Amino acid sequence: MGTVPDAVAPMLAVDGPLPDDDRHGYEWKWDGFRGCVRVAADGQAKITSRSGSDHTDRYPELQDVFGAALGGRVAVLDGEVVALNAAGRPEFELMQRRAMYEPTAKLQAEVPVVYFAFDLLRVDDESLLNLPYEQRRALLAELLEPEDGRLVVPPWYTRADIAPDQLLATAAQHGIEGVVAKRLDAPYLPGARSPLWTKHALTQTREVVIGGWRTGAGRRAGTLGALLLGAYDDEGALVYLGDVGTGFTDDALDHLREVLAPLARAESPFATEVPRDRARGAQWVAPTLVGEVVYRRMTPDRRLRHTSWRGLRPDRTPDEVRVP
């Protein structure tokens, strides 16, 4: 067996308007789960989530694709594991199906995943972290020779190719999550959220920690009606941010009840007060699960408004979820 290289913590982008200049490259923002792929000379590959967890077994259909594309080279890649819809575009709801169930042959056939490789961090014994983004991208295109659609090197653009506002308009037209701008001369900064990368999403999403749930009414009487959400402040206290009661599929409701049941606890895990009407009848849980919601706005007192559930994020850990 070959030696698999060490994982590299992903570099993260800041939110903001896209810079419009000749110093940046532009990529689509893919709606999936971030993954660092580490490949040994014999083709053995490991996929590590943003939080550092080993997710290799979640995606068995990807395990042989990297060695074939690298032709015996050792490499570390940064990219996104995505599930494509019938139109060939990443769809987060499909990734949720992969997250909820064991990756049986039937599920792999119904919801296959693809790895979009958008950065190259190491080749053989050479670290590429200090090379400019533009050079790493060129080397990635030269090195990877995907043999089928399970591995993709997505395109990137400069201002000479297309203006950032046109990219955003195209993203909106085709249901792509957004655009990321990366400084052409930027090194790769492991684990850092850096202004060298700027992301502009077309929808506002936020990761949240689940601290409890309330039963529903009407059609959802006796089952889950809403989740109580929070995030951690700088002192490590779990701050209540609001709740979410829409956006759940029946499968998601069943799965949430299943994973929340063993986490039950008597007292609220929130360090801040939960409004009485939200806390009434709440079932508190240990704050170990991370999810994601879409929201319209956040109030000055840090409450999420007009939320809709997107799904669980097994690739995140609660301590990563910070108060905005």
Looking at the fold, whether 51 and 133 belong to one and the same domain comes out as yes
Q: What is the pLDDT of residue 1?
A: 58
Range from 32-46, 98-112, 212-226 that averages highest in pLDDT: 32-46
Looking at the fold, whether 19 and 151 belong to one and the same domain comes out as yes
Confidence of residue 204 (pLDDT cuts 50, 70, 90): confident
Looking at the fold, whether 53 and 182 belong to one and the same domain comes out as yes
Looking at the fold, whether 193 and 47 belong to one and the same domain comes out as yes
The model's pLDDT over 138-194, given as tens digits with 9 standing for 90+, comes to 999 999 999 899 999 999 999 999 999 999 999 999 888 899 999 999 999 999 999
Q: Which of 201, 236, 261 is the last residue of a domain?
A: 201
Beta bridge partners of 157: 26
Is the pLDDT at 217 greater than 80? The verdict is no
Looking at the fold, whether 156 and 226 belong to one and the same domain comes out as no
Q: Which of 174, 201, 228 is the last residue of a domain?
A: 201
Confidence of residue 221 (pLDDT cuts 50, 70, 90): low
What's 260's domain CATH number? 2.40.50.140
d(CA 241, CA 228): 8
d(CA 82, CA 137): 20
d(CA 237, CA 323): 10
Q: What is the pLDDT of residue 240?
A: 97
The parent domain of residue 274 ranges over: 205-320
Confidence of residue 284 (pLDDT cuts 50, 70, 90): very high
Known catalytic residues? 29
Asked if residue 209 lies in contact with residue 228, where contact means CB atoms within 8 angstroms, the answer is no
User: Considering just the CA atoms, what is the radius of gyration of the chain in Å?
Assistant: 21
Q: Which of 171, 201, 231 is the last residue of a domain?
A: 201
Q: What is the pTM of this model?
A: 0.84
Confidence of residue 87 (pLDDT cuts 50, 70, 90): confident
Instruction: Find the mean pLDDT for residues 281-304.
Output: 92
Looking at the fold, whether 195 and 218 belong to one and the same domain comes out as no
